[in-house]
Structure 1
Amino acid sequence: MNKNQANLEELKDYLGFGVAGNFANHLGEAGEADEFSVIETKEKDAPKGLFPFYIPNHDSFLGEYPISTDIINHNNMDKLQVEAEVALLCDFVYENEKLVDIVPKLFGAFNDCSNRVQDGNKLSTKKNWGPNSKGLASDLIEIDSFEEDGILSKYHIASFVRRDGILKDYGTVSAVKSYSYFFNQLKDWMIDKFNTQEDMGPLEELKPFIQDMSKYKGLLIAAGATAYTDFGKHNFLEKGDEIFVYVYDAHFHSFEDIIQDMSGMDLHLSKCSKLHQIVE
């Protein structure tokens, strides 16, 4: 297994998109199920769609680079929640004004931090409020194969918030392979959505965002947020909170290893991508 340092300067030339509704119950827990009720999917458990969170040089809020490895900007918002996810850094093939292939190369822990205001606006408006509104682990892991027998099938996602010295589980510990869509099913679905998704409900038409795609270095895909624990459902982020998101090889590291790492023990989590942020 090879680790790579996230190159935040290079990522400024990536397009950032997230997958909405890729874990059972997440949209309901996030208070977004009603907004998405107008969107029909071909299969009952299929994700609802894709949304942009960063488009380099876009003339809207989406042009603001939101990625940080250590800070979340609270921005005095009342209803910020951690969204613990797997990030996929991908190459792509764009030909004849169509996206024809996505090639996941690296993965890591991601916080698709979201503002839960229910204002009827597009989902993307709740995802980027400027610098330090997203989180990406500095350690990323090479993908050997984006297939069910590849490295990612062993990994789990766990997330926590430490408040006033007390550590709380924030998201439910979830196997990466328990995403509704992942591996080639997710890849094929994303290619289709990039080319065909129309403006409906909380989602936007995507073709305008990718019409000049060949000038970008790659795609940063947030694959979807896990369900919440009871604490995560009922507690929004406060200034001073510490956020932890781990994407770890559960065949190699125990859950106890993760807990001990947060307690300050000097463990070498060799098969893990860890994100640690402070809310400011």
Structure 2
Amino acid sequence: MEFDLKKLPCFGVAGNFTGHLEQAGEAVEFQNVKTKEKNAPKAIFPTYIPNAKNLVPEFLGTFPFDSGKIIFPHGEEKLQIEPECALILNAEWNGAKLKSLVPVKFGASNDCSIRKPGAKKISMKKNWGKCSKGLSENLISIDGFFEKGNIAKYRIACFLFRDGKIFEYGEDSPVKGYSYIFEKLTNWLIEKFNTQKDEGTAENVGKYLVSIGSPEQIMVSIGATRYTEFGETNFLKDGDESIVILYPDKYSNTEIKEMAAENSFSDKEISVLRQKIILQ
């Protein structure tokens, strides 16, 4: 099934890579969230709901994705890349309950975020209008969402290109290094879509989906990796370029960094998202 991102409801996962929330200064927002396991993700949050109904906050109806640029929101200061693996998933429903999710494509995602302490909902730091997020135009078909599938061989790299120099912004990390991945992740997603309530910084994402007709496909960015020391302490500026790359482990991090510096990617097995940061 082919897809049009503008027609898909899009979501993110909070706390699916150990240490990221602490680096982002957001762990306190989830201190009262009870999880079955210590390292379990904390919540699903919405980033875009097409044809948003009255139940859905109006701002979530604005399409926030652009594969070439991030528009820096007026009046904000602390903006960070969030390097992630995104999944396109086929959804099967049983009435108003989500029955199954099958990942069919994956690629590089920037779930770009404003560091804004005290925001009532996670989504308020995620979608501030057009060009506030990113998904690579080169998505890769999944031949099986399990340990021996092609996605298990991929790694996530993240760089910042500033003033002619390239810096490692996120720790080079394996996709299978997520706290929840493969069947454990899809089972968790199904449970959360069916049971998550509108409380704390979380929202009733299941009701959002039902309100727009129980869609047959959704997009989920499954969590940001940890930052390097540079990434943790350097926020985005006008003219920067954000680079998120999902690449097969036949390449080394050094090779990928060289490709990023030269902006030269010929292998279709590499999913690249490169975005210019532009002041509003």
Shorter chain as denominator, the TM-score bin is: over 0.9
Q: CA deviation at 1:206?
A: 2.0
SS in 2 for 1:211: helix
Give the counterpart letter for 1:270 in structure 2. Answer: K
Per the alignment, do residues 160 and 19 of structure 1 end up closer, same or farther by CA in structure 2, a change over 3 Å counting?
A: same
Q: CA deviation at 1:49?
A: 1.1
Are the aligned partners of 1:94 and 1:213 in contact in 2 as well (CA < 8 Å)?
no
1:150 paired with 2:149, answer: yes
* 1:195-234 aligned within 5 A: 195-212=194-211, 214=213, 216-234=215-233
* 1:1-280 aligned within 5 A: 10-58=4-52, 60-76=58-74, 77-212=76-211, 214=213, 216-250=215-249, 252-264=250-262, 266-280=264-278
Q: CA deviation at 1:217?
A: 4.7
The gaps in structure 2 that reach 5 residues or longer are none
SS in 2 for 1:224: strand
Per the alignment, do residues 160 and 212 of structure 1 end up closer, same or farther by CA in structure 2, a change over 3 Å counting?
A: same
Aligned length: 273
**Residues 125-162 of structure 1: per-residue CA shift (max 9 Å, x gap):** 10001111001111010000011110111100000111
Q: Distance in 1 between matches of 2:264 and 2:115?
A: 36
Q: Distance in 1 between matches of 2:264 and 2:191?
A: 45
SS in 2 for 1:263: helix
Are the aligned partners of 1:253 and 1:271 in contact in 2 as well (CA < 8 Å)?
no
Are the aligned partners of 2:159 and 2:167 in contact in 1 as well (CA < 8 Å)?
yes
What percent identity do the matched residue pairs reach?
Answer: 44
Per the alignment, do residues 74 and 265 of structure 1 end up closer, same or farther by CA in structure 2, a change over 3 Å counting?
A: closer
TM-score, structure 2 length as denominator? 0.93
Give the counterpart letter for 1:242 in structure 2. Answer: E
Q: Distance in 1 between matches of 2:264 and 2:104?
A: 29
The gaps in structure 1 that reach 5 residues or longer are none
Q: CA deviation at 1:267?
A: 4.8
> Structure 1: which 4+ aligned runs deviate by more than 3 Å?
212-217
Q: Distance in 2 between matches of 1:198 and 1:215?
A: 18
RMSD (Å), alpha carbons: 1.6
Q: CA deviation at 1:213?
A: 5.0
Are the aligned partners of 1:110 and 1:136 in contact in 2 as well (CA < 8 Å)?
yes
Q: Distance in 2 between matches of 1:108 and 1:120?
A: 28
**Residues 193-221 of structure 1: per-residue CA shift (max 9 Å, x gap):** 00001122211122321113546351010
